[in-house]
Every structure is written in C-alpha cells, then in structure tokens.
Structure 1
Amino acid sequence: MGSDGELIDIVDTADRVVGRATRGEAYARGLRHRVAFVLVRDADDRIFVHRRTAAKRVFPSLYDMFVGGVVGAGETYDAAALREAEEELGVSGLPSPVPLFTFPYDSGTGLGSWNSAVYEVRCTLPVRPQTEEIDWWDFLPEEEVERRLRTWEWVPDGLAAYGLLRAHRAAGEAARHRFG
C-alpha cells in the first residue's frame, strides 16, 4: 500500500481521535491528523538538513531541518518519531527521540491541519537517507541553518516548528538567567 493508502487517525483540536481515514483522503478533505517532527543532531551538534524529492505529495523539493511524518492509525507520537527518524535517516538502533513540545499547524494551502509533536535526537550512526524521500542532505552547523533560512525555500510546517523551537530555547535561557 502506498503512503496515500496508509490508515491514519483523524483528531480534533484537543488531539482526541474522532475517526480514521487514509492519508490521501485526509489531505484531499483537509482532515486534522497527527505529525511527528524530529530535529536530528550529529555528534558535532550539527543539524541534519535535507531537500525533499520532487515526487513528495506535500511540499515537494523544499528544504527541511526535521525528519518525521504522519503518525499512523493507533500509533503514538513517540513511536512515530522513532520510526520516521530511522526510516528517513536509513539507520536502526537510534535512541528514542526526546519530546520537546506540541503545536497545532494549519497549512493554509488546502492540505488541512495537523497536531504536531516536536522531538530532538542525537544520531552518531552513519546515515543512509531514503532516496525516495530525500534528494540532498547534509549536517549543517546551526549558524549555517540560520543563514540558509533567508535563501532556501523551506517546508512551511518545519519552518513554523523551528521558529517555535528557537522561541522555547530563548525562553528557557531567559528563565535560567533569572533563576540562576
């Protein structure tokens, strides 16, 4: 079964399952579903960045600083984060991604909306990214990712997640300075 035929949970804004549909139907009808985002860092703290293939249904040929994807029917965000990270990176034995925060996303493009869980994981394994999913990839220093935000075309949901991640980190830094 192709990914369009994959069964996924349809959820409400409170993330309660209200039904099931195929992925293709969820996108065609703009149904709210679940997505896991995983920021991958290597041993040198660089971020895994990639360009999606032109064949991708959602956001083809755009850059992303997250791996991840749609959470399957009955699957947890945690399980999906690990499964998607291992699949896209082409590795096995990755540590469990650490959950950071959740946020709702509305595509504004007719694709619908999704409840999103953001994770981070350190990958010290040699990666062999899926060629069906990823056209180009590299581990980039965070400063380089920041520079490329202004010049590359990024997936909008990943860009939203990255902006929230930076805001969460800035708030955490401010709190540490206030409370020592």
Structure 2
Amino acid sequence: MNPADEILDIVDENDEVVGQAPRGEATARGLRHRCVFIEARDPEGRIFVHRRTSAKAVFPSYYDMFVGGVVGAGETYGDAALREAGEELGVPGLPRPEPLFKFLYEDGEHRWWSYVHQVRCALPVRPQVEEVAWHAFLSDGELEHRLGDRLWVPDGLEAYHRLRAFRAGRAGRTAGPAA
C-alpha cells in the first residue's frame, strides 16, 4: 500500500478522535493526527540516530534521534510504537517500548499528538532502507555536540528537549497512559 493511502484517526486538541482521513490528505491539509517517537538505545546506552531518506514526504533527508511514525486508524500508541520501532530498526523480537509522556506538536504546518517511548534494542540493527539513509549509535554527549551542525526534524528536536526535561523532573509535558 502507498503510505499516503494509510487511514489515520483525526483528533482534536484533547486527542479525541473526530474523524478519519488518508495520511496524504492529513499531511496536505495539516489535520491533527497521532504519532509515536521511540528513543532506541543499544546495550551500551548509546542512542540510535539516523538520517531520513530523501523520499520521505515529511522532513526528507533530515536527521532524527527517534524512530517512529504515524498511528494508524484504530491503532493504539503502544501498538504503533512496537510496530514502528520493529520496522525501522529491523530487530526481531524487540521488547515493547516503554511509554513516557505525550505532547501536542504544532508548528503552523504540522499538528500531531506525539507519544514518546523508549526501548533498548539488541544489536545488530538492520534499518529499513525505505526510511533510513544513514545511521549510527551515539553517546548522549556526541548527540548533543551534533545538534548544531545538522538539519534535525523539528518535531523530533522538540520531543528530544521535552524528554530531557521529563528526565530532569521538570514540567512542560502531558503525561498519560499509552492507550
């Protein structure tokens, strides 16, 4: 199936379903939908970082420190996180990602409820070639050092800063169960 044809739940400002639309239409019209972000770390605690392929409809060729994607119609955040992490990392038997918090991402053009998860994955990873053009595992310090010298996906960058605040125990997040 063409990813643009995937049916998504369209949600309101409270993350309640108000309709459905194909992914391509939701993106083109800026309809609010649901996404998952999964921070994947290797057994040494390094973060999976990658560059998106140039064929991606949203933020092509940008760098990201999360794997993830849209939540399909009727799919739970938790199920989407497991599916997306498994697909993008190419790791069989991946444990279910742990839900951390969710927030509403809005940048004027894009709007989606975003649920941030974390997972440890065994090596080697075999990233999905349709999604990932380059990848590496970086320490927290290496990632911080590279934040200023690359084009990072803006929603992932916001999720990253919110995750750091979450871990530091600061406010500025919307927590809830991974439905």
Q: 1:126 aligns with which of 101, 118, 124?
A: 124
Matched with 2:176 is none
Matched with 1:178 is none
**TM-score normalised by structure 1 residue count:** 0.92
Distance 1:149 1:68 in 2: 19
SS of match in other structure, 1:132: coil
Write out per-residue CA displacement over residues 85-127 of structure 1, whole angstroms, 9 at most, x where no aligned residue. Answer: 000011221001000100000132x2x3000000000001421
SS of match in other structure, 2:149: coil
4+ aligned runs moved over 2 Å, structure 1: none
Letter in 1 for 2:153: V
Letter in 2 for 1:118: V
Distance 2:85 2:92 in 1: 9
Matched with 1:60 is 60
SS of match in other structure, 2:126: coil
Matched with 1:176 is none
Matched with 1:142 is 140
Distance 1:125 1:71 in 2: 26
**TM-score normalised by structure 2 residue count:** 0.93
Unaligned runs of 5+ in 2: 171-179
Distance 1:22 1:71 in 2: 12
Write out per-residue CA displacement over residues 145-165 of structure 1, whole angstroms, 9 at most, x where no aligned residue. Answer: 000011111000000000000
State the 1:132 CA deviation. 0.8
Q: How does 1:54-133 map to 2 (within 5 A)?
A: 54-108=54-108, 110=109, 112-133=110-131
Aligned residues: 170
Residue 144 of structure 2 corresponds to residue 155 of structure 1: no
Distance 1:75 1:168 in 2: 25
RMSD value, Cα: 0.9
SS of match in other structure, 1:171: coil
Matched with 2:29 is 29
